[in-house]
Amino acid sequence: MLTQCVRLAFICQRDNMTKYSGKGTIKYDNGDVYEGDFRDSEPHGQGKITYIDGRVCEGNWEDGKLQKGTCKWKDGKVYEGELVDGKRHGKGKVTYSCGGVYEGDWKDGRRHGKGTIKANGDVYAGEFKNDKYDGKGTGKWSC
């Protein structure tokens, strides 16, 4: 599989036999574009990827995977925190386009563990499992 890439001031075709390191830009076959640091032809270090759906993620990459950073969606949603295999995982915070905020633990892209939701003056702090309220928690409702 050939992938077009732009590195520094020249355009190249890379195959699995050519490895490169340093700063550069690569356009993947699906249209996604990564700009930043590379090591052994993989994103590694600081970088930014712009997906064809308009989402933009930037931060610290290791061996081709974003480990910690910020992702912004076209609808205004923003996630800041840790990731594993491209999914929210570990500690993180998401601010939804409506203004609501969740901050806490994530597992496989879902709220899981301890966290706090603040929206429209309401606050819930407690436990989550598979993106749902679960276990102990406290709430303060504005109405």
The amino acid occupying position 61 is W
Is residue 6 scored above 60 in pLDDT?
Answer: no
Q: How confident is the model at residue 29 (pLDDT cuts 50, 70, 90)?
A: confident
The model's pLDDT over 84-110, given as tens digits with 9 standing for 90+, comes to 988 999 999 999 999 999 999 999 999
Strand partners, 64: none
Strands (E), 85-131: 87-95, 101-107, 110-119, 122-129
Is residue 4 scored above 60 in pLDDT?
Answer: no
Structural contact between residues 105 and 114, judged by C-beta atoms closer than 8 angstroms? yes
pLDDT of residue 27: 87
The model's pLDDT over 39-72, given as tens digits with 9 standing for 90+, comes to 888 899 999 999 999 999 999 999 999 999 999 9
Residue 98, sorted as left (phi over 0), alpha (psi -120 to 50) or beta, turns out to be alpha
Half-sphere exposure in the Cβ direction for 96 (13 Å, CA): 10
Q: Across all residues in the chain, what is the average pLDDT?
A: 87
Q: How confident is the model at residue 9 (pLDDT cuts 50, 70, 90)?
A: very low
Q: List C-alpha distances in Å: 132 to 3, 16, 21, 31, 67.
A: 40, 43, 42, 34, 25
Is residue 2 scored above 60 in pLDDT?
Answer: no
pLDDT of residue 1: 36
